[in-house]
Amino acid sequence: MHISELKESKFLKKEDVDPPVMVTIREVTQENTAKEGAPEELKWCVTFDELEKPMVLNVTNGQIIAKITGSEDSDDWTGHQIVLYHDPNVTFGGKLVGGIRVRAPKKTNKKATPKPPPEELQDDDEIPF
């Protein structure tokens, strides 16, 4: 067991996206991220079709999603796919702590053009060199 499993969270953690996960954005909403009993602390969160927990949206990930979707308006992000992954180089408070990052899905070449087979030399052909 990893010690991160001791702390239950209603939001995505870096361990939840290691290995990376491709997700479809459902919506962006404000959620209370305060611990139980603490004063309300509203933050923007992204929910996904494939995952139960939302991801708390930080400025960096928001800018990356805006670039991927081609819109700075989060209302336009619905239905777009992104990849969530654990980036060990994320810093917080001047310390390297790791965190969730987003990226565009890798493009797949659905119909690769097959290469033509090499022309075979006949026994009586001259070798061209």
Q: Let me know if residue 112 belongs to a domain.
A: no
pLDDT for the residue 107: 82
Q: For residue 39, what are the domain limits? A: 12-103
What pLDDT, in 10s, does the model give residues 69-127? 999 999 999 999 999 999 999 998 999 999 999 999 998 665 555 555 555 555 555 55
Q: Let me know if residue 90 belongs to a domain.
A: yes
123 secondary structure, DSSP code: T
Token pair, residue 93, equals 């408070």
pTM over 0.75, yes/no? yes
- Structurally, how many domains does the chain consist of? 1
Would you place residue 19 in the very low, low, confident or very high pLDDT band (cuts 50, 70, 90)?
Answer: very high
Whether the ω angle into residue 118 lies within 30 degrees of 0, i.e. cis, is no
Find out whether 30 and 102 touch, Cβ atoms under 8 Å.
no
Q: Let me know if residue 5 belongs to a domain.
A: no
Q: Let me know if residue 37 belongs to a domain.
A: yes
In this prediction, residues 50-72 reach a mean pLDDT of 97
CA distance 57 to 43: 7
Q: Let me know if residue 33 belongs to a domain.
A: yes
Q: Let me know if residue 59 belongs to a domain.
A: yes
Q: Let me know if residue 120 belongs to a domain.
A: no
CA distance 55 to 13: 8
14 contacts: CB under 8 Å, gap ≥ 6: 86, 87, 90, 98, 99, 100
Nearest one of 66, 103, 69 to 84, comparing CA atoms:
103
CA distance 98 to 105: 21
Q: Let me know if residue 128 belongs to a domain.
A: no
Residue % of the chain over a pLDDT of 90 = 73
